[in-house]
Structure 1
């Protein structure tokens, strides 16, 4: 559960890191408040939210089994563990 959360937090931070690298490359002080005007922070926040939404949509669309698949739960047969799976009809 923590890995998907950290992945989304990482995706959210991408625009801010890119801007910090830009500020650093332009030889300005990254930690100076004047390097982070409110307008820029708002633009970065909106773009970060859009990236997170896009990543969630892509994750939902391209992960998991096919929509017409049937889930078979995990079970134990003759003392042997058989993992669950999704299979097409």
Structure 2
């Protein structure tokens, strides 16, 4: 669980860090006055898109492993057959 939260936090912060690096390279400062509202909005939208993509990519394959289908307990011909994995 903590790994998923850390991955999502890193994906969210990535656009802001990249924009900050661009500001440092071009203007030499991270003064809040240099952060335009449009740039912050674009970073926020990119962050949400990265988080959604990350959730899809990292969590999509967490199904049951092959060969581990559960068959519930049942009665067959008057005999109780306990539940099992196949």
> Gaps (5+ residues) in structure 1?
72-86
Residue correspondence of structure 1 range 1-89 to structure 2 within 5 A: 1-30=1-30, 32-65=31-64, 69-70=68-69
Structure with greater proportional strand content = 1
What is the alpha-carbon root mean square deviation over aligned residues?
2.3
Aligned residues: 72
> Gaps (5+ residues) in structure 2?
71-84
Change (3 A) 1:61 1:39: same
Q: Normalization by structure 2: what TM-score?
A: 0.69
Structure 1 segments (4+ residues) deviating >6 Å: none
Q: Which protein has the larger Cα radius of gyration, Structure 1 or Structure 2? A: 2
Higher relative contact order (CA 8 A, sep 6+): 2
